[in-house]
Structure 1
Protein backbone atom coordinates (compact mmCIF):
# COMPACT_ATOMS: atom_id res chain seq x y z
CA UNK A 1 0.00 0.00 0.00
CA UNK A 2 3.03 2.25 0.20
CA UNK A 3 2.78 3.22 -3.47
CA UNK A 4 -0.84 4.38 -3.32
CA UNK A 5 -1.84 7.90 -2.32
CA UNK A 6 -4.58 8.04 0.30
CA UNK A 7 -7.42 10.57 0.38
CA UNK A 8 -10.39 11.33 2.62
CA UNK A 9 -13.73 12.98 1.87
CA UNK A 10 -15.09 15.32 4.54
CA UNK A 11 -18.75 16.00 3.84
CA UNK A 12 -19.62 19.71 4.32
CA UNK A 13 -22.06 19.08 7.18
CA UNK A 14 -20.28 20.21 10.34
CA UNK A 15 -20.31 23.86 11.38
CA UNK A 16 -16.99 25.59 11.94
CA UNK A 17 -14.93 25.03 14.13
CA UNK A 18 -16.05 21.37 14.40
CA UNK A 19 -15.33 21.00 10.69
CA UNK A 20 -11.96 22.70 11.15
CA UNK A 21 -10.91 19.94 13.53
CA UNK A 22 -11.55 17.33 10.84
CA UNK A 23 -9.59 19.15 8.17
CA UNK A 24 -6.66 19.76 10.55
CA UNK A 25 -6.75 16.13 11.65
CA UNK A 26 -6.72 14.88 8.06
CA UNK A 27 -3.60 16.99 7.51
CA UNK A 28 -1.96 15.77 10.72
CA UNK A 29 -2.81 12.10 10.05
CA UNK A 30 -0.81 12.30 6.84
CA UNK A 31 -3.48 11.84 4.18
CA UNK A 32 -2.29 12.94 0.77
CA UNK A 33 -5.50 14.75 -0.16
CA UNK A 34 -8.82 15.71 1.39
CA UNK A 35 -12.01 16.43 -0.55
CA UNK A 36 -15.54 17.62 -0.10
CA UNK A 37 -18.63 17.06 -2.24
CA UNK A 38 -19.62 19.79 -4.67
CA UNK A 39 -23.40 19.54 -4.40
CA UNK A 40 -26.19 21.83 -3.28
CA UNK A 41 -27.64 18.84 -1.44
CA UNK A 42 -27.03 15.11 -1.60
CA UNK A 43 -29.33 12.11 -1.71
CA UNK A 44 -30.51 10.83 1.68
CA UNK A 45 -28.82 13.76 3.45
CA UNK A 46 -30.82 16.41 1.57
CA UNK A 47 -32.72 17.48 4.69
CA UNK A 48 -29.56 17.85 6.78
CA UNK A 49 -27.13 20.71 7.19
CA UNK A 50 -24.97 21.17 4.08
CA UNK A 51 -22.45 23.97 3.58
CA UNK A 52 -21.18 25.50 0.33
CA UNK A 53 -18.11 23.98 -1.28
CA UNK A 54 -15.79 26.88 -2.11
CA UNK A 55 -16.08 28.65 1.28
CA UNK A 56 -15.54 25.29 3.01
CA UNK A 57 -12.37 24.57 1.06
CA UNK A 58 -11.16 28.14 1.53
CA UNK A 59 -11.54 27.79 5.28
CA UNK A 60 -9.86 24.37 5.12
CA UNK A 61 -6.92 25.92 3.28
CA UNK A 62 -6.36 28.31 6.20
CA UNK A 63 -6.21 25.55 8.84
CA UNK A 64 -4.03 23.10 6.89
CA UNK A 65 -0.56 23.46 5.46
CA UNK A 66 0.35 20.37 3.45
CA UNK A 67 -2.59 18.27 2.33
CA UNK A 68 -4.07 18.54 -1.17
CA UNK A 69 -7.59 19.97 -1.26
CA UNK A 70 -10.18 18.83 -3.77
CA UNK A 71 -13.73 19.08 -5.12
CA UNK A 72 -15.38 15.68 -5.41
CA UNK A 73 -16.67 16.55 -8.00
CA UNK A 74 -17.77 19.82 -9.63
CA UNK A 75 -20.24 19.81 -12.50
CA UNK A 76 -21.96 22.25 -14.87
CA UNK A 77 -25.32 21.50 -13.26
CA UNK A 78 -25.24 24.79 -11.37
CA UNK A 79 -21.94 26.39 -12.39
CA UNK A 80 -20.73 28.64 -15.19
CA UNK A 81 -17.02 28.24 -15.99
CA UNK A 82 -16.13 31.95 -15.78
CA UNK A 83 -17.08 32.77 -12.17
CA UNK A 84 -16.18 29.23 -11.13
CA UNK A 85 -12.67 29.54 -12.59
CA UNK A 86 -12.22 32.82 -10.74
CA UNK A 87 -13.20 31.14 -7.45
CA UNK A 88 -10.90 28.19 -8.11
CA UNK A 89 -7.94 30.41 -8.97
CA UNK A 90 -8.44 32.44 -5.79
CA UNK A 91 -8.74 29.29 -3.70
CA UNK A 92 -5.61 27.83 -5.27
CA UNK A 93 -3.73 31.01 -4.41
CA UNK A 94 -4.95 30.94 -0.80
CA UNK A 95 -4.01 27.28 -0.43
CA UNK A 96 -0.54 27.79 -1.87
CA UNK A 97 -1.19 25.70 -4.96
CA UNK A 98 -2.81 22.70 -3.25
CA UNK A 99 -6.14 22.58 -5.09
CA UNK A 100 -7.23 19.60 -7.21
CA UNK A 101 -10.43 19.98 -9.22
CA UNK A 102 -12.55 16.92 -9.82
CA UNK A 103 -15.06 17.54 -12.62
CA UNK A 104 -17.98 15.45 -13.82
CA UNK A 105 -21.01 15.79 -16.05
CA UNK A 106 -23.39 16.07 -13.08
CA UNK A 107 -26.15 13.75 -11.97
CA UNK A 108 -29.85 13.97 -12.71
CA UNK A 109 -31.00 14.65 -9.16
CA UNK A 110 -31.67 17.84 -7.22
CA UNK A 111 -28.64 19.74 -8.53
CA UNK A 112 -29.79 19.25 -12.11
CA UNK A 113 -33.14 20.99 -11.69
CA UNK A 114 -32.93 23.33 -8.70
CA UNK A 115 -32.31 26.33 -10.98
CA UNK A 116 -35.22 25.45 -13.26
CA UNK A 117 -33.18 23.67 -15.89
CA UNK A 118 -34.78 21.54 -18.57
CA UNK A 119 -34.10 17.82 -18.59
CA UNK A 120 -31.10 16.88 -20.73
CA UNK A 121 -30.39 13.68 -22.61
CA UNK A 122 -27.20 11.76 -21.73
CA UNK A 123 -25.64 13.04 -24.97
CA UNK A 124 -26.48 16.64 -24.10
CA UNK A 125 -25.07 16.25 -20.61
CA UNK A 126 -21.83 14.87 -22.05
CA UNK A 127 -21.53 17.64 -24.64
CA UNK A 128 -22.17 20.27 -22.00
CA UNK A 129 -19.55 18.66 -19.76
CA UNK A 130 -16.86 18.66 -22.44
CA UNK A 131 -17.54 22.32 -23.17
CA UNK A 132 -17.38 23.08 -19.44
CA UNK A 133 -14.01 21.35 -19.01
CA UNK A 134 -12.51 22.93 -22.11
CA UNK A 135 -13.57 26.37 -20.89
CA UNK A 136 -12.03 25.74 -17.46
CA UNK A 137 -8.84 24.52 -19.12
CA UNK A 138 -8.46 27.84 -20.95
CA UNK A 139 -9.58 30.08 -18.10
CA UNK A 140 -7.37 28.48 -15.46
CA UNK A 141 -4.27 29.10 -17.56
CA UNK A 142 -5.13 32.83 -17.31
CA UNK A 143 -5.28 35.19 -20.25
CA UNK A 144 -2.10 36.03 -22.18
CA UNK A 145 -0.69 39.50 -21.43
CA UNK A 146 -2.32 42.17 -23.57
CA UNK A 147 -5.04 39.81 -24.83
CA UNK A 148 -7.89 41.85 -23.40
CA UNK A 149 -9.46 38.80 -21.80
CA UNK A 150 -10.77 35.37 -22.75
CA UNK A 151 -13.73 34.92 -25.06
CA UNK A 152 -15.57 31.84 -26.25
CA UNK A 153 -19.03 31.05 -27.58
CA UNK A 154 -20.34 27.51 -27.39
CA UNK A 155 -23.67 25.75 -27.34
CA UNK A 156 -23.77 25.87 -23.53
CA UNK A 157 -21.43 28.62 -22.29
CA UNK A 158 -20.37 32.04 -23.55
CA UNK A 159 -17.76 34.51 -22.33
CA UNK A 160 -16.87 37.97 -23.64
CA UNK A 161 -13.42 39.18 -22.62
CA UNK A 162 -13.47 37.36 -19.29
CA UNK A 163 -10.63 38.50 -17.04
CA UNK A 164 -8.76 36.19 -14.72
CA UNK A 165 -5.91 38.62 -13.85
CA UNK A 166 -2.73 37.22 -12.33
CA UNK A 167 -0.53 34.16 -12.78
CA UNK A 168 -1.55 30.57 -11.95
CA UNK A 169 -0.06 29.13 -8.77
CA UNK A 170 1.13 26.17 -10.89
CA UNK A 171 2.00 25.88 -14.55
CA UNK A 172 0.17 25.51 -16.75
CA UNK A 173 -2.76 25.33 -14.29
CA UNK A 174 -4.14 23.32 -11.38
CA UNK A 175 -4.97 19.64 -12.13
CA UNK A 176 -8.34 18.71 -13.62
CA UNK A 177 -9.39 15.18 -12.68
CA UNK A 178 -12.15 13.83 -14.94
CA UNK A 179 -14.88 11.74 -13.27
CA UNK A 180 -16.99 9.19 -15.07
CA UNK A 181 -17.63 5.57 -15.97
CA UNK A 182 -19.05 5.90 -19.48
CA UNK A 183 -16.92 5.07 -22.52
CA UNK A 184 -16.89 8.64 -23.89
CA UNK A 185 -15.88 10.17 -20.58
CA UNK A 186 -13.23 7.56 -19.92
CA UNK A 187 -11.77 8.18 -23.37
CA UNK A 188 -11.73 11.92 -22.71
CA UNK A 189 -10.07 11.45 -19.31
CA UNK A 190 -7.44 9.10 -20.72
CA UNK A 191 -6.68 11.44 -23.61
CA UNK A 192 -6.83 14.88 -22.00
CA UNK A 193 -7.30 14.69 -18.22
CA UNK A 194 -4.70 15.16 -15.51
CA UNK A 195 -6.43 12.26 -13.81
CA UNK A 196 -9.48 10.03 -13.85
CA UNK A 197 -11.79 9.23 -10.95
CA UNK A 198 -14.45 6.56 -10.65
CA UNK A 199 -16.94 5.96 -7.87
CA UNK A 200 -17.85 2.53 -9.20
CA UNK A 201 -21.38 1.32 -9.78
CA UNK A 202 -24.48 0.87 -7.64
CA UNK A 203 -23.99 -2.81 -6.80
CA UNK A 204 -24.57 -3.70 -3.15
CA UNK A 205 -22.54 -6.92 -3.39
CA UNK A 206 -18.85 -6.20 -2.80
CA UNK A 207 -17.53 -8.72 -5.33
CA UNK A 208 -19.88 -7.45 -8.03
CA UNK A 209 -18.94 -3.86 -7.24
CA UNK A 210 -15.23 -4.58 -7.57
CA UNK A 211 -15.85 -6.50 -10.79
CA UNK A 212 -17.48 -3.37 -12.19
CA UNK A 213 -14.56 -1.21 -11.07
CA UNK A 214 -12.15 -3.65 -12.70
CA UNK A 215 -14.06 -3.39 -15.98
CA UNK A 216 -13.88 0.41 -16.15
CA UNK A 217 -10.22 0.34 -15.04
CA UNK A 218 -9.39 -1.94 -17.97
CA UNK A 219 -11.25 0.38 -20.31
CA UNK A 220 -9.28 3.35 -19.02
CA UNK A 221 -5.98 1.50 -19.44
CA UNK A 222 -6.91 0.61 -23.02
CA UNK A 223 -7.89 4.20 -23.85
CA UNK A 224 -4.74 5.56 -22.24
CA UNK A 225 -2.58 3.19 -24.26
CA UNK A 226 -4.43 4.17 -27.45
CA UNK A 227 -3.96 7.87 -26.72
CA UNK A 228 -0.19 7.62 -27.05
CA UNK A 229 0.33 9.68 -23.90
CA UNK A 230 3.41 9.06 -21.76
CA UNK A 231 2.85 11.51 -18.91
CA UNK A 232 1.48 10.21 -15.62
CA UNK A 233 -2.29 10.35 -15.27
CA UNK A 234 -3.67 9.79 -11.78
CA UNK A 235 -6.17 6.95 -11.48
CA UNK A 236 -8.45 7.63 -8.51
CA UNK A 237 -11.13 5.36 -7.05
CA UNK A 238 -13.61 6.07 -4.28
CA UNK A 239 -13.50 2.86 -2.26
CA UNK A 240 -16.82 3.49 -0.50
CA UNK A 241 -20.45 3.12 -1.47
CA UNK A 242 -23.43 3.95 0.72
CA UNK A 243 -23.69 0.28 1.67
CA UNK A 244 -20.03 -0.81 1.49
CA UNK A 245 -17.79 1.26 3.74
CA UNK A 246 -14.02 0.82 3.63
CA UNK A 247 -13.43 2.31 7.09
CA UNK A 248 -15.74 -0.13 8.84
CA UNK A 249 -12.51 -1.77 10.01
CA UNK A 250 -8.77 -1.64 9.37
CA UNK A 251 -9.05 -4.98 7.60
CA UNK A 252 -11.78 -3.70 5.27
CA UNK A 253 -9.62 -0.70 4.38
CA UNK A 254 -6.56 -2.85 3.73
CA UNK A 255 -8.61 -5.13 1.50
CA UNK A 256 -10.07 -2.21 -0.50
CA UNK A 257 -6.70 -0.53 -0.99
CA UNK A 258 -5.07 -3.81 -2.03
CA UNK A 259 -7.78 -4.43 -4.61
CA UNK A 260 -7.49 -0.88 -5.94
CA UNK A 261 -3.71 -1.10 -6.22
CA UNK A 262 -3.92 -4.41 -8.09
CA UNK A 263 -6.16 -2.72 -10.66
CA UNK A 264 -3.61 0.04 -11.29
CA UNK A 265 -5.17 2.85 -9.27
CA UNK A 266 -2.71 5.43 -8.00
CA UNK A 267 -5.06 7.02 -5.46
CA UNK A 268 -7.83 5.80 -3.15
CA UNK A 269 -10.43 7.97 -1.48
CA UNK A 270 -12.46 7.00 1.59
CA UNK A 271 -15.02 8.99 3.61
CA UNK A 272 -14.70 10.45 7.07
CA UNK A 273 -16.78 8.33 9.48
CA UNK A 274 -20.26 9.66 10.26
CA UNK A 275 -22.36 8.84 13.33
CA UNK A 276 -25.13 7.20 11.30
CA UNK A 277 -26.46 6.74 7.81
CA UNK A 278 -24.06 6.64 4.86
CA UNK A 279 -20.43 6.05 5.85
CA UNK A 280 -21.33 5.37 9.49
CA UNK A 281 -18.24 4.39 11.45
CA UNK A 282 -15.76 5.12 14.21
CA UNK A 283 -13.06 7.80 13.96
CA UNK A 284 -10.77 5.46 15.89
CA UNK A 285 -10.60 3.24 12.79
CA UNK A 286 -9.48 6.24 10.75
CA UNK A 287 -6.71 6.90 13.26
CA UNK A 288 -5.71 3.22 13.29
CA UNK A 289 -5.48 3.23 9.49
CA UNK A 290 -3.24 6.30 9.56
CA UNK A 291 -1.04 4.66 12.20
CA UNK A 292 -0.85 1.47 10.14
CA UNK A 293 0.29 3.50 7.15
CA UNK A 294 2.89 5.20 9.32
CA UNK A 295 1.51 8.61 8.43
CA UNK A 296 0.25 10.05 11.69
CA UNK A 297 2.28 12.73 13.43
Structure 2
Protein backbone atom coordinates (compact mmCIF):
# COMPACT_ATOMS: atom_id res chain seq x y z
CA UNK A 1 0.00 0.00 0.00
CA UNK A 2 1.21 3.50 -0.88
CA UNK A 3 2.46 5.39 2.19
CA UNK A 4 1.35 9.01 2.22
CA UNK A 5 3.23 12.07 3.41
CA UNK A 6 2.73 15.82 3.48
CA UNK A 7 5.16 18.68 2.87
CA UNK A 8 4.65 21.68 5.16
CA UNK A 9 6.41 24.75 3.79
CA UNK A 10 8.36 26.81 6.37
CA UNK A 11 6.45 29.99 5.53
CA UNK A 12 4.60 30.58 8.82
CA UNK A 13 5.84 31.52 12.30
CA UNK A 14 5.97 28.26 14.21
CA UNK A 15 3.35 29.42 16.71
CA UNK A 16 0.99 29.20 13.72
CA UNK A 17 2.66 26.34 11.85
CA UNK A 18 2.68 23.98 14.85
CA UNK A 19 -0.98 23.17 14.27
CA UNK A 20 -0.17 21.99 10.74
CA UNK A 21 2.46 19.54 11.92
CA UNK A 22 0.16 18.21 14.63
CA UNK A 23 -2.67 17.95 12.10
CA UNK A 24 -0.50 15.93 9.72
CA UNK A 25 0.09 13.44 12.52
CA UNK A 26 -3.57 13.37 13.56
CA UNK A 27 -4.60 12.66 9.97
CA UNK A 28 -2.41 9.57 9.94
CA UNK A 29 0.23 10.61 7.42
CA UNK A 30 3.34 8.43 7.53
CA UNK A 31 5.81 11.29 7.20
CA UNK A 32 5.96 15.10 7.09
CA UNK A 33 8.61 17.15 5.33
CA UNK A 34 9.76 20.69 4.72
CA UNK A 35 11.86 22.42 2.07
CA UNK A 36 15.47 23.34 2.82
CA UNK A 37 16.25 26.63 1.08
CA UNK A 38 17.64 30.03 1.98
CA UNK A 39 15.13 31.48 -0.44
CA UNK A 40 12.53 29.73 -2.55
CA UNK A 41 11.67 30.79 -6.10
CA UNK A 42 8.10 29.51 -5.73
CA UNK A 43 7.46 31.98 -2.90
CA UNK A 44 9.89 34.87 -3.50
CA UNK A 45 8.22 37.22 -1.01
CA UNK A 46 6.99 36.87 2.55
CA UNK A 47 8.15 34.85 5.57
CA UNK A 48 10.57 31.96 5.08
CA UNK A 49 12.09 29.98 7.96
CA UNK A 50 15.02 27.60 8.36
CA UNK A 51 14.37 23.89 7.81
CA UNK A 52 16.51 22.49 10.64
CA UNK A 53 14.95 24.74 13.29
CA UNK A 54 11.49 24.08 11.86
CA UNK A 55 11.97 20.30 12.05
CA UNK A 56 13.35 20.46 15.59
CA UNK A 57 10.25 22.44 16.56
CA UNK A 58 8.01 19.97 14.73
CA UNK A 59 9.63 17.11 16.63
CA UNK A 60 8.63 18.79 19.90
CA UNK A 61 4.93 18.98 18.99
CA UNK A 62 4.55 15.49 17.45
CA UNK A 63 5.12 11.95 18.69
CA UNK A 64 4.80 9.42 15.88
CA UNK A 65 5.14 10.93 12.42
CA UNK A 66 8.50 10.74 10.65
CA UNK A 67 10.12 14.06 9.77
CA UNK A 68 12.48 15.04 6.99
CA UNK A 69 14.03 17.52 4.59
CA UNK A 70 12.70 17.50 1.04
CA UNK A 71 15.44 18.09 0.13
CA UNK A 72 18.60 19.48 1.70
CA UNK A 73 21.66 19.96 -0.49
CA UNK A 74 25.33 20.96 -0.43
CA UNK A 75 24.34 24.23 -2.12
CA UNK A 76 24.77 25.93 1.25
CA UNK A 77 25.32 23.11 3.76
CA UNK A 78 28.85 21.89 4.48
CA UNK A 79 28.62 18.18 5.38
CA UNK A 80 30.51 18.42 8.69
CA UNK A 81 28.27 20.90 10.57
CA UNK A 82 25.26 19.49 8.75
CA UNK A 83 26.07 16.00 10.05
CA UNK A 84 25.91 17.40 13.59
CA UNK A 85 22.55 18.98 12.84
CA UNK A 86 21.28 15.68 11.40
CA UNK A 87 22.44 13.80 14.49
CA UNK A 88 20.76 16.41 16.68
CA UNK A 89 17.48 16.22 14.73
CA UNK A 90 17.51 12.45 15.08
CA UNK A 91 17.92 12.91 18.83
CA UNK A 92 15.22 15.59 19.11
CA UNK A 93 12.74 13.42 17.19
CA UNK A 94 13.74 10.25 19.09
CA UNK A 95 14.71 8.47 15.89
CA UNK A 96 12.07 9.82 13.50
CA UNK A 97 14.30 11.88 11.19
CA UNK A 98 14.87 11.05 7.51
CA UNK A 99 17.53 12.92 5.56
CA UNK A 100 16.12 13.93 2.19
CA UNK A 101 19.15 15.09 0.18
CA UNK A 102 19.86 16.15 -3.39
CA UNK A 103 22.33 18.03 -5.55
CA UNK A 104 20.45 21.32 -5.32
CA UNK A 105 19.56 23.62 -8.18
CA UNK A 106 20.90 26.56 -10.10
CA UNK A 107 19.55 29.92 -9.01
CA UNK A 108 18.03 31.47 -5.89
CA UNK A 109 20.06 29.94 -3.04
CA UNK A 110 23.32 30.41 -4.91
CA UNK A 111 22.34 33.94 -5.91
CA UNK A 112 21.93 34.94 -2.27
CA UNK A 113 25.43 33.66 -1.50
CA UNK A 114 26.90 35.10 -4.71
CA UNK A 115 28.97 32.10 -5.71
CA UNK A 116 29.69 30.51 -9.06
CA UNK A 117 31.18 32.19 -12.13
CA UNK A 118 28.00 34.18 -12.83
CA UNK A 119 26.68 34.48 -9.29
CA UNK A 120 24.00 31.87 -9.99
CA UNK A 121 25.85 28.89 -8.55
CA UNK A 122 28.07 26.01 -9.57
CA UNK A 123 27.74 24.25 -12.90
CA UNK A 124 25.58 21.13 -13.11
CA UNK A 125 28.76 19.05 -13.26
CA UNK A 126 30.20 20.58 -10.10
CA UNK A 127 26.88 20.33 -8.25
CA UNK A 128 26.76 16.64 -9.09
CA UNK A 129 30.34 16.09 -7.94
CA UNK A 130 29.78 17.97 -4.70
CA UNK A 131 26.59 16.01 -4.10
CA UNK A 132 28.24 12.63 -4.51
CA UNK A 133 31.23 13.60 -2.37
CA UNK A 134 29.06 15.09 0.38
CA UNK A 135 26.93 11.93 0.51
CA UNK A 136 30.12 9.90 1.04
CA UNK A 137 31.29 12.10 3.89
CA UNK A 138 27.86 12.31 5.54
CA UNK A 139 27.65 8.52 5.43
CA UNK A 140 31.07 8.15 7.03
CA UNK A 141 30.46 10.76 9.73
CA UNK A 142 27.01 9.53 10.71
CA UNK A 143 28.09 5.87 10.84
CA UNK A 144 31.09 6.66 13.01
CA UNK A 145 29.63 5.87 16.44
CA UNK A 146 28.05 2.63 15.20
CA UNK A 147 31.45 1.58 13.85
CA UNK A 148 33.31 2.50 17.04
CA UNK A 149 34.62 5.88 15.83
CA UNK A 150 33.92 9.11 17.69
CA UNK A 151 36.07 11.07 15.23
CA UNK A 152 36.38 10.76 11.47
CA UNK A 153 38.74 12.12 8.84
CA UNK A 154 37.87 12.56 5.17
CA UNK A 155 39.88 14.27 2.44
CA UNK A 156 37.96 15.11 -0.69
CA UNK A 157 38.08 17.38 -3.71
CA UNK A 158 35.55 19.82 -2.25
CA UNK A 159 35.17 18.92 1.42
CA UNK A 160 37.47 17.89 4.23
CA UNK A 161 36.78 16.60 7.71
CA UNK A 162 39.73 16.43 10.08
CA UNK A 163 39.10 14.45 13.26
CA UNK A 164 35.46 15.54 13.07
CA UNK A 165 33.70 14.58 16.29
CA UNK A 166 30.31 12.89 15.98
CA UNK A 167 29.23 11.84 19.44
CA UNK A 168 27.07 10.16 20.67
CA UNK A 169 25.95 9.27 17.15
CA UNK A 170 22.52 8.69 15.71
CA UNK A 171 19.55 7.24 17.55
CA UNK A 172 18.78 5.19 14.43
CA UNK A 173 21.52 2.69 13.76
CA UNK A 174 23.87 2.58 12.02
CA UNK A 175 22.74 6.10 10.98
CA UNK A 176 19.65 8.03 9.98
CA UNK A 177 18.09 6.78 6.72
CA UNK A 178 19.08 8.63 3.56
CA UNK A 179 16.41 9.56 1.03
CA UNK A 180 18.50 10.58 -1.99
CA UNK A 181 17.27 12.49 -5.02
CA UNK A 182 18.90 11.91 -8.42
CA UNK A 183 18.00 11.18 -12.02
CA UNK A 184 21.33 10.93 -13.88
CA UNK A 185 23.52 7.81 -14.13
CA UNK A 186 26.17 8.88 -11.60
CA UNK A 187 23.61 10.23 -9.16
CA UNK A 188 21.55 7.04 -9.38
CA UNK A 189 24.66 5.00 -8.60
CA UNK A 190 25.05 7.07 -5.42
CA UNK A 191 21.39 6.37 -4.61
CA UNK A 192 21.82 2.63 -5.10
CA UNK A 193 25.00 2.57 -2.98
CA UNK A 194 23.89 4.72 -0.05
CA UNK A 195 20.13 5.34 0.02
CA UNK A 196 17.37 3.78 2.06
CA UNK A 197 14.91 5.63 -0.22
CA UNK A 198 14.98 7.21 -3.67
CA UNK A 199 13.30 10.62 -4.03
CA UNK A 200 11.83 12.03 -7.23
CA UNK A 201 9.33 14.76 -8.04
CA UNK A 202 6.70 15.11 -10.72
CA UNK A 203 8.45 17.97 -12.53
CA UNK A 204 10.96 15.71 -14.28
CA UNK A 205 9.44 16.71 -17.64
CA UNK A 206 9.64 20.43 -16.73
CA UNK A 207 7.65 22.73 -14.52
CA UNK A 208 4.10 23.77 -15.23
CA UNK A 209 4.02 26.64 -17.70
CA UNK A 210 7.08 25.44 -19.62
CA UNK A 211 5.19 23.12 -21.93
CA UNK A 212 5.08 19.60 -20.41
CA UNK A 213 1.81 17.74 -20.58
CA UNK A 214 0.41 15.15 -18.22
CA UNK A 215 1.53 12.47 -20.68
CA UNK A 216 5.05 13.95 -20.69
CA UNK A 217 5.10 13.76 -16.89
CA UNK A 218 4.12 10.09 -16.76
CA UNK A 219 6.60 9.25 -19.51
CA UNK A 220 9.44 10.98 -17.66
CA UNK A 221 8.60 9.22 -14.39
CA UNK A 222 8.44 5.83 -16.07
CA UNK A 223 11.74 6.43 -17.86
CA UNK A 224 13.72 7.40 -14.76
CA UNK A 225 12.15 4.56 -12.76
CA UNK A 226 13.43 2.11 -15.38
CA UNK A 227 16.86 3.73 -15.22
CA UNK A 228 16.93 3.19 -11.46
CA UNK A 229 16.03 -0.49 -11.91
CA UNK A 230 18.86 -0.86 -14.42
CA UNK A 231 21.40 0.74 -12.09
CA UNK A 232 20.23 -1.50 -9.23
CA UNK A 233 20.80 -4.56 -11.41
CA UNK A 234 24.25 -3.36 -12.52
CA UNK A 235 25.28 -2.63 -8.92
CA UNK A 236 23.92 -5.90 -7.55
CA UNK A 237 21.09 -4.45 -5.50
CA UNK A 238 17.58 -5.86 -5.59
CA UNK A 239 15.33 -2.98 -6.76
CA UNK A 240 12.69 -4.19 -4.32
CA UNK A 241 14.97 -3.21 -1.40
CA UNK A 242 14.87 0.48 -2.38
CA UNK A 243 11.67 2.36 -1.43
CA UNK A 244 10.70 5.15 -3.84
CA UNK A 245 9.12 8.47 -2.91
CA UNK A 246 7.39 10.85 -5.30
CA UNK A 247 6.71 14.50 -4.41
CA UNK A 248 3.85 16.08 -6.33
CA UNK A 249 2.83 19.71 -6.59
CA UNK A 250 3.97 21.76 -9.58
CA UNK A 251 3.28 19.50 -12.55
CA UNK A 252 0.25 19.23 -14.85
CA UNK A 253 -1.00 16.27 -12.77
CA UNK A 254 -3.11 18.58 -10.53
CA UNK A 255 -3.01 15.90 -7.84
CA UNK A 256 -4.80 17.89 -5.12
CA UNK A 257 -7.58 19.25 -7.32
CA UNK A 258 -10.05 16.80 -5.78
CA UNK A 259 -10.23 13.48 -3.95
CA UNK A 260 -11.12 11.71 -7.21
CA UNK A 261 -8.14 13.26 -8.96
CA UNK A 262 -5.83 12.29 -6.10
CA UNK A 263 -7.04 8.69 -6.21
CA UNK A 264 -6.40 8.51 -9.94
CA UNK A 265 -2.87 9.93 -9.70
CA UNK A 266 -1.98 7.87 -6.61
CA UNK A 267 -3.07 4.70 -8.39
CA UNK A 268 -0.80 5.39 -11.32
CA UNK A 269 2.07 6.34 -9.00
CA UNK A 270 1.77 2.99 -7.24
CA UNK A 271 1.66 1.16 -10.59
CA UNK A 272 5.03 2.75 -11.43
CA UNK A 273 6.54 1.15 -8.33
CA UNK A 274 6.58 4.09 -5.94
CA UNK A 275 6.10 3.17 -2.29
CA UNK A 276 5.64 6.67 -0.88
CA UNK A 277 3.70 9.69 -2.17
CA UNK A 278 3.95 13.23 -0.77
CA UNK A 279 1.53 16.12 -1.31
CA UNK A 280 1.83 19.71 -0.12
CA UNK A 281 -0.10 21.04 2.82
CA UNK A 282 -2.70 23.31 1.18
CA UNK A 283 -1.97 27.03 1.00
CA UNK A 284 -4.65 29.67 0.56
CA UNK A 285 -3.03 31.30 -2.49
CA UNK A 286 0.02 31.23 -4.72
CA UNK A 287 2.21 28.14 -4.99
CA UNK A 288 0.47 24.95 -3.82
CA UNK A 289 -2.89 26.64 -3.38
CA UNK A 290 -5.43 23.81 -3.30
CA UNK A 291 -8.83 23.18 -1.70
CA UNK A 292 -8.14 22.63 2.02
CA UNK A 293 -10.78 19.91 2.36
CA UNK A 294 -8.93 17.60 -0.05
CA UNK A 295 -6.16 16.98 2.51
CA UNK A 296 -8.72 15.67 5.01
CA UNK A 297 -10.41 13.57 2.34
CA UNK A 298 -7.24 11.78 1.27
CA UNK A 299 -5.87 11.34 4.81
CA UNK A 300 -5.06 7.77 5.89
CA UNK A 301 -7.03 8.32 9.13
CA UNK A 302 -10.16 8.93 7.06
CA UNK A 303 -9.66 6.11 4.57
TM bucket, shorter chain = over 0.9
- Seen in structure 2, the aligned counterparts of structure 1 residues 258 and 166 have a Cα distance that, compared at 3 Å, is same
Superposed displacement of residue 144, structure 1: 6.9
- Seen in structure 2, the aligned counterparts of structure 1 residues 83 and 288 have a Cα distance that, compared at 3 Å, is same
Match of 1:269 in 2: 278
Match of 1:73 in 2: 71
Determine which of 9, 14, 17 is the counterpart of 2:15.
Answer: 17
> 1:218-267 deviations in whole A, cap 9, x for unaligned?
11112112221247211111122155431111011111111110000011
Match of 1:208 in 2: 216
SS of corresponding position for 1:45: coil
Match of 1:95 in 2: 93
Superposed displacement of residue 65, structure 1: 0.6
Match of 2:243 in 1: 234
Superposed displacement of residue 143, structure 1: 4.4
Match of 1:176 in 2: 178
1:52 aligns with 2:50: yes
- Seen in structure 2, the aligned counterparts of structure 1 residues 147 and 59 have a Cα distance that, compared at 3 Å, is closer
Determine which of 152, 155, 158 is the counterpart of 1:153.
Answer: 155
- Seen in structure 2, the aligned counterparts of structure 1 residues 285 and 97 have a Cα distance that, compared at 3 Å, is same
1:286 aligns with 2:295: yes
Distance in structure 1 (CA, Å) of the matches to 2:158 and 2:35: 24
1:252 aligns with 2:261: yes
1:194 aligns with 2:196: yes
Superposed displacement of residue 109, structure 1: 1.0
Match of 1:221 in 2: 229
Task: Compare 175-184 and 65-74 and name the one that shifted more.
Answer: 175-184
Determine which of 34, 37, 40 is the counterpart of 1:36.
Answer: 34
Contact 1:245 1:279 in 2 (8 A): no
Distance in structure 2 (CA, Å) of the matches to 1:176 and 1:226: 21
Contact 2:253 2:265 in 1 (8 A): no
User: How many residues are aligned here?
Assistant: 292
Q: What is the root-mean-square deviation of aligned Cα atoms in Å?
A: 1.8
Task: Compare 232-241 and 182-191 and name the one that shifted more.
Answer: 182-191
TM score, norm. by length of structure 1: 0.93
Superposed displacement of residue 165, structure 1: 1.2
Superposed structure 1 runs of 4+ greater than 4 Å apart: 143-148
TM score, norm. by length of structure 2: 0.91
Distance in structure 2 (CA, Å) of the matches to 1:49 and 1:244: 28
> 1:141-161 deviations in whole A, cap 9, x for unaligned?
234788562111211111211
